[in-house]
Amino acid sequence: MKTFLFRSMIGIFFGAFISVVLTNSVVLFSEKDTLDSALFLKNSLGSVFCGWFFTVSPLYFENKKLQLWQQTILHFVTVVVLYFLLAFGIGWVPFNLSSFLIAMGLFLAIYLVFWICFYIYFKQQVKKLNDELELL
């Protein structure tokens, strides 16, 4: 529970930080003098929620009762469902088939890149630890 709360705080703060950076970027790099407050609130809360579930959902990978493929499937399904509910609800992705397929393709490609990078990193960590154990 302590880990869940800590990660929740980190995710919420990270989502809020991303929201501030994106809002400042819009103000600095566009010719808009004012922002729509309802749109700002909706996008900010979406960013905070997105940050939260992307930092909490990797807890599946810490469950030693599950195998890696089970952890990956549970994590993938969780983030896909939550992200697309959020993205369609807020309007980040238009609610039509072609937009969904494009967004899903991008999501899957990014997910695979991150998954492979984390897999390689942790595999190297295990190898490093095993090598150090052999030296003992």
Render pLDDT for 42-87 as a digit per residue (tens, 0 to 9). Answer: 999 999 999 999 999 999 999 999 999 999 999 999 999 999 999 9
pLDDT above 90 for 36: no
Query: What's the number of domains the chain is made of?
Result: 2
57 and 119 share one domain = no
**Residue-level pLDDT at 30:** 87
- Chain segment 80-133, per-residue pLDDT in tens: 999 999 999 999 999 999 999 999 999 999 999 999 999 999 999 999 999 999
pTM over 0.85: no
**Residue-level pLDDT at 33:** 76
The H-assigned helical ranges of the chain are 2-29, 37-56, 68-90, 97-135
112 and 131 share one domain = yes
Q: What is the mean pLDDT of residues 25-46?
A: 88
82 and 112 share one domain = no
88 and 107 share one domain = no
Cα 129 from chain centroid?
Answer: 28
2 and 14 share one domain = yes
Note down the domain range covering 72.
1-92
CA atoms within 13 A on the CB side of 88: 12
Is the Cα torsion angle 6, 61, 116, 106 positive or negative in sign?
negative
113 and 136 share one domain = yes
54 and 38 share one domain = yes
